[in-house]
A and B are shown apart, each in its own frame.
Chain A
Amino acid sequence: MNRSLLICCCLLIAPVFSLAHHSSAMFDKEQVREETVTIREFQWTNPHVWIQITLENDPGQAEEWSIEGLGPNGLFRNGWRPNSFKPGDVVEIRFNPMRDGTSAGGFIGAKFPDGKTLGRWQ
């Protein structure tokens, strides 16, 4: 079962999403959303990687969301790999949602069932 937690926080988790290619202003960095999701697709591409996930925005309502990360080059140098997320993986993920309610967000961190993490996950 998906666990949905909307954390309204200014300081609990500092935003880490800083984009090289475009402004990150569309993401609400005052909010961090934490979800247990299923990976649909991982796009290891420039200028940003994208994690396509399925989450339950409302109970029983599965939705596809697009989570945007930094560029693959810098992520690779920080331990990410092209197969860091595999379709079907169930992971916990944190992201800054978009301000206008669009089903997308800016990646903060992820935690895998074996305890491994990517990004920022305190």
Chain B
Amino acid sequence: MRMRSISIYLLLAGFATLSVHADELPDWSGVWQRYEGNGGIFDPSTVKPADGRAGSPGVRQYPPLTEAWEAKYVAALDLAANERLPDPISICGTPAGFPRLLALPDVYEFIVRPEQTWIITENGPNILRIHTDGTTHPPPEERWPTFTGDSKGRWIGQTLEFTTVSMIGEAHTILDRSGLTLSDQATVATRMYLTDEGLLRAELVIEDPLALTEPWSVTRHFRRLPNGTRAYDYACAENNRNPITSSGQTLTLDTDGNVIDKVIDGEVIE
């Protein structure tokens, strides 16, 4: 009996920390799409040229990178210009991770509940779970780098504020096909809210003691698609006819799984 009372107390204590009730939450229902295009460029505000697409030669962004990370970025840009930048998601096995998942093609769903918000990307697998139940980030010894990290937040009126830690960083993720990366020491503070124009706005402030010299602000938007628009399965490995070589070349397979490229890693195939 005593144990039951303790359980009920803990349950009530948990709910008592919810910042809002369900009827106070904003309407983020439906299916959404990224508003900024540019081929998935992560930071449209610093990309040059302004209409440059991620991965295109001569296109780069200008975050406040440390010297070491600038060198990494320049090397990645060179790979991208030579069509050899390995994109982790091209192997159809791992998520894009956070914060890149805010800059993906295809569509999004934002599932809002008092205790948790889920950002689901159709181009996945990616689910960002944002806990708003009053819990805090686990202590360091209870977390490890993952693709989406650990997100904890709260509702301030109609604005969702959350911080994300323990992201896997450059080990298995990039921010876009220009090759921009963060370290696994990065943290992201995000504010999301509906604008007067009906766009869902995400304001990110990224800090990273290894990659950045100062906080990096990135803003992205999503537009709601017409009623009735649906999201579907994205099974990347279903019929992936574009394996990647160890040097980063994208190959092409025929319907039987045979490589049909006439040049592989610079060697002409007879």
Q: Within 8 Å of chain A (Cβ to Cβ): is B242?
A: yes
- When the two chains form their complex, are residues A23 and B234 in contact, meaning their CB atoms are under 8 A apart? no
Closest-CB distance, B259 to chain A (whole angstroms): 9
CB distance from B72 to the nearest CB of A (A): 19
Contact among A18, A21, A48, A72 for B39, CB-based, below 8 A: A18
In the bound complex, residues from chain A placing their C-beta under 8 Å from that of B239 are 43, 45-48, 50
A74 / chain B contacts, CB cutoff of 8 Å: 105-107
How many residues on B have C-beta within 8 angstroms of the other chain's C-beta atoms?
Answer: 40
Tell whether A46 pairs with B234 under 8 Å between CB atoms, given A21-B242, A98-B252.
yes
Per-residue CB contact flags for chain B residues 220-248 toward chain A (1 = under 8 Å, else 0) read 00000100011111111011111010000
Say which residue of B83, B85, B254 sits within 8 Å of A66 (CB atoms): B254
Find B177's partner among A23, A26, A47, A100 (CB 8 Å cutoff): A23
A45 near B238 with CB under 8 A, answer yes
12 contacts between A and B (CB under 8 A): A20-B106, A21-B240, A23-B83, A23-B85, A25-B55, A26-B250, A45-B238, A68-B252, A71-B106, A71-B234, A74-B105, A76-B232
- A102 x B255 contact (CB < 8 A): no
Prevailing SS type, chain B contact patch: loop
Q: Provide the residues of chain A in CB contact with B241, threshold 8 Å.
A: 48, 50, 66, 68
Please name the residue on chain B nearest to A77 by beta carbon.
B229
Kindly list chain B residues whose C-beta atoms are within 8 Å of the C-beta of A43. 239, 255
Query: CB-CB < 8 A to A73: which residues of B?
Result: 106-107, 122, 231-234
Chain A residues near B122 (CB-CB < 8 A): 73
Q: Bound complex: CA of A68 vs CA of B252, how far in Å?
A: 10
* Residues in chain A near residue B262, CB distance under 8 A: 100-102
Say whether A22 contacts B244, CB under 8 Å: yes
Closest CB pairs A-B (n = 3): A45-B239, A25-B83, A100-B263
What residue of chain A has the Cβ atom nearest to residue B57's Cβ?
A25
Q: Does B166 contact A (CB under 8 A)?
A: no
Report if A93 contacts B (CB, 8 A). no
New A-B contacts (18) at CB < 8 Å, excluding given A20-B105, A23-B250: A21-B90, A22-B90, A22-B244, A26-B83, A26-B250, A45-B239, A46-B234, A46-B238, A50-B239, A50-B241, A66-B241, A68-B242, A73-B106, A73-B233, A100-B261, A102-B262, A104-B252, A104-B260
Interface size range of chain A in the complex: 20 to 34
B124-150, CB under 8 A of A: which get 1 and which 0? 000000000000000000000000000
Contacts of A25 in B (CB 8 A): 55, 83, 250
Task: Check A66 against B260 for contact (C-beta < 8 Å).
Answer: yes
Whether A84 sits at the interface, judged by CB under 8 Å, is: no
Query: How many Å lie between the Cα of A32 and that of B217 in the bound state?
Result: 40
Closest residue of A by beta carbon distance from B37: A18
B266 to chain A, nearest CB (A): 10
